[in-house]
Each structure stands twice: as C-alpha cells, then as structure tokens.
Amino acid sequence: MRLSPEIVPDIKDDIDRFSYDRDAQKIGIVHFGIGAFHRAHQAWYTDLAMSAGDRDWAICGVSMRSPAVAEQLNPQSGLYTLTERAGESARTRVIGAVREVLFAPRQSEQVVARLADPACQIVSLTVTEKGYGRGEGGGLDLKLASQSFYPMLGEALRQRRASGLGGLTILSCDNLADNGRVLDRLIQQWLQAELPDLLDWYEAECRVPPTMIDRIVPRTRPEDVESLERRIGAVDEGAVFTEQFSQWVVEDNFAGGRPRWEDHGVALVEDVAPFETAKLRMLNGAHSLLAYCGLQAGYQFVHEAVADPVLRDLAGRLMRDEAIPTIDATPDQDLHEYANHLMERFADPALMHRLDQIAMDGTQKIPQRWLDTAKSALQLGLPIEAIRSAFDAWIWHLADGRWVDDPHGDELKRLAEHRTAVIEYCLLAGKDGGPLWPGYESLAEVFASPLSR
C-alpha cells in the first residue's frame, strides 16, 4: 500500500504528522529543484509553520531534470515522510506541505501559472551550484540559463507586473558564497538580455535575501524505504532521511509575506555572511576534503573517513588552522565549538552519508569551499597544508575517474595525468581563454606541485 492522504489516519501515533487541512491551503511557495534536501529542510519548516496555524504556504515543487520526484510524490498527493536519525533513534513525521510536483521540461506553462498566481509570494531554489547557469567569470551564460529556471521566472514576473501584482521573494538555498546577491545579479543579467523593460519593476518589487542552510541529507537507500514501510505500514517512495540538526539563517528582507518560520528555529538576521562563510569554509570545506581524501583511502562513508585519525586530523586542521582565522565571526559565534560540533555530526554512523555524493560537482564547489580560505589564509601568512592535501586528493580522484560526476568531468579526466594541465585549466586559462575559476591565479604556484607528506 502506498502512502496517501486516505491512510494517514491509520498510521501509528508514534509517527508525527501535519495538522492542517491540506486541501484548503493555497500555493504560496514555488520551489525549483525539489530534491531530498528541500524536503528535509525548507518544506519541513513550512510544514511546522502551517501545523502551528500559518495558512496558504503550500508548496509547488518543480523538478528540473528528472521526472523521478514527480513520479514518487504525485501518486502520494505530495505526501512524504521525513525521518530524523541520531545514533539508534529515529523520529518520523508525515509532511503535508508539498501539494504537487511539476516536471519543468514538460510543464513549464503550469510552473509559470503557479508563479504568476496572486497567492504565490516566495520562489525558492535548490538547483545545486551548477543550476545557476554561470559561465566564464561567474556571469550568466545565456545558453545554460535558458535551460534552467530563468525563462519561467522571467515570464512569471512579466505576467505579475502586467496584472498589477506585487513582486516575489526569491530565495536561493544553495551552497554558493553570497547566494542572494549572486542570484540577484544573475536574474538582472537575464532580464537585461530577455526582458529589459522589466528591470526597474524587478528592482523595486522583488527581494533576493541571502540564506544559509544546513542539514545533512544523504541519498535515500532502498533498505531505508523498506524498514520505514514496516514502521508506518505503507510504502513511501518519497521518503527522506536526515540528521536531527537543522539550521536556516535568512536575511530578513522579504517582498511580501512569509511563513512564521522564526517560530520553528529559523534565524532571521540582518547579515547572513558570517554564518554562510563559516558553513561553506568549515562544514562544506571539511566535507569535500573528507570526500576526496576518504575515497583515496578506500572509504565509502563520511563516518568511516572521520574515524581514520589521519583524515580526522586533516579535516580538523582545515577547519581550525586554515578556515577559522579567515572568518569574520560575530561576537556570538564560537567557531571552535562549531568545529567540534561538526566533527560529531560527521561521525554519526546512522547517517550513512556517501563520500561519492559529496565528491560530485567538485568544480562547482571547490572555489567557495577551499580557494577562498586558501587565498585569505595565504594573505595572513597561515599554512594551507590541509587544503593542499585535499586538492591533491581531488586531482587523484580525477585521474582515477571512478567517481567523477562533474560538468567539466570529461575534460578534467583527460587532463588529470598532467597536474600542470589541470592547474592551467582551472586557475590560469580555460579552453575559452579564461580560467574555470577566475580570481585565484595567485594559488596556481602553491598548487603546482603535490604536497610531499
């Protein structure tokens, strides 16, 4: 039997569930990139807010590339369960916030209609680093952008203005440095090229607040779905499993309304930057180090990699000696405590977080995770041995090829035998003239030779 609204009343009481009339809620949020991360994070916060009495924040999820999530969730009327794990304990909740999932390549007109609807106030995104259509120099690549969310968003904004509606709050929930301002600039570039008349209205009516989002969400395994079925008495093809920890820090700058997320642990702040920088450089920086060094050492999961004293020490050094001194923390942020807590999160075997999941899309992740730290640390005269080891392991993984899943993967696998060619391509001069990662030329010399350990 499949999870559905009809069977929810029969699910045992020890499973939490939404407590609002789902059918009566209007769609207030459209989310691009409805993968497991969104369902474990923003959709969960929104479900808690609606269960506490907020209204009309149902979510229309849009899947960008594969129809899989639509096939998993639509037959379940959008319902799915979220299981939070820590050690031996597991807490499950049936989430009601997602109303429907649209598959962008086939249903873009419906997506536009949802966005242009008066009830819609927020559009959020987890389209991964590569989903923003950035090209050389970090600016918008119009061809890539035309295959992403920009045409739907642009058309919806045009319709909203034409019908006298207000703008939208556009929330990037991806791990980009300064995600709000980056997205704002990219949208402006899109409008400039495609709908220039809309620019002034967009600037006046829309808001793109930066956010820092944090929750580790491993890919769901078939055995998880099977053990869940024994607990809830139904098959949930959209089931998501995550850790108990969750954090969302959002700049309080919205175009219209929003759910009362702050009643459920979301921090609304004036400046997200110190939280975002710490998260990207420490959590994500250490994650990527563990991924490449861990795969090289023969491990499969994050908890196995941090159980290895050599890798644990390297991840600790990356966070404490290299990243922390480069972060302009607020007086309330204890970054050493943060590093200890991150190690505890990484070490939890209940998560079964695969290293190859983190290893993917390295070219999209490395600049904000390692290179920004490396650049600042060198300016401060600090060592960057842990980052250099991580970089060596990344090159090793390119040459090995087994786990490479990256938009520049084919090119890099070809170059990987020659370290100088990789350095050249990434830091000095890419195939179209500029480097893949502009602005980090100063690191080319430091990374030119492998670290002798």
DSSP-assigned letters across all residues of 111-177? HHHHHTSTT--EEEE---GGGG-B-GGGSB-HHHHHTTTHHHHHHHHHHHHHTT----EEEE-SS-T
Shortest Cβ 128–ligand CS2 spacing (Å): 9
Sheet with 247-251: strands ordered across: 211-214, 247-251, 267-269
Number of other residues whose CB lies within 10 A of the CB of residue 356: 17
Shortest Cβ 214–ligand CS2 spacing (Å): 4
Comparison of 108 and 357: residue with beta carbon closer to ligand CS2: 357
Comparison of 206 and 291: residue with beta carbon closer to ligand CS2: 291
Shortest Cβ 404–ligand CS2 spacing (Å): 15
Comparison of 207 and 215: residue with beta carbon closer to ligand CS2: 215
Shortest Cβ 174–ligand CS2 spacing (Å): 9
Residue with the two structure tokens 């939070």: 84
Comparison of 114 and 369: residue with beta carbon closer to ligand CS2: 369
- Chain centroid to CA 18: 24
Number of other residues whose CB lies within 10 A of the CB of residue 200: 11
Shortest Cβ 215–ligand CS2 spacing (Å): 5
Pairing of strands 58-63, 98-103: parallel
3-state secondary structure of 19: coil
Shortest Cβ 369–ligand CS2 spacing (Å): 8
**Which residue's Cβ lies closest to ligand CS2?**
287
3-state secondary structure of 211: strand
Shortest Cβ 296–ligand CS2 spacing (Å): 17
Sheet with 122-125: strands ordered across: 98-103, 58-63, 27-32, 122-125, 169-172
DSSP-assigned letters across all residues of 39-104? HHTHHHHHHHHHHTT--S-EEEEEESS-THHHHHHGGGTT-EEEEEEETTEEEEEEE--EEEEEEH
Task: Name which of 72, 3, 10 is nearest 35 in CA terms.
Answer: 72
Shortest Cβ 177–ligand CS2 spacing (Å): 13
State the DSSP code for 430: -
Comparison of 74 and 179: residue with beta carbon closer to ligand CS2: 179
Shortest Cβ 424–ligand CS2 spacing (Å): 25
Task: Name which of 212, 392, 210 is nearest 296 in CA terms.
Answer: 392
Comparison of 28 and 33: residue with beta carbon closer to ligand CS2: 33
Comparison of 176 and 198: residue with beta carbon closer to ligand CS2: 176
Comparison of 358 and 422: residue with beta carbon closer to ligand CS2: 358
Q: How far apart are CA 243 and CA 135, in angstroms?
A: 34
State the DSSP code for 354: B
Residue with the two structure tokens 């041995």: 385
Residue with the two structure tokens 């923390």: 329
Comparison of 134 and 279: residue with beta carbon closer to ligand CS2: 279
Comparison of 11 and 216: residue with beta carbon closer to ligand CS2: 216
Binding site for ligand CS2 (CB under 6 A): 175, 214-216, 283-284, 287, 357-358, 365
Q: How far apart are CA 119 and CA 115, in angstroms?
A: 9
Shortest Cβ 239–ligand CS2 spacing (Å): 18
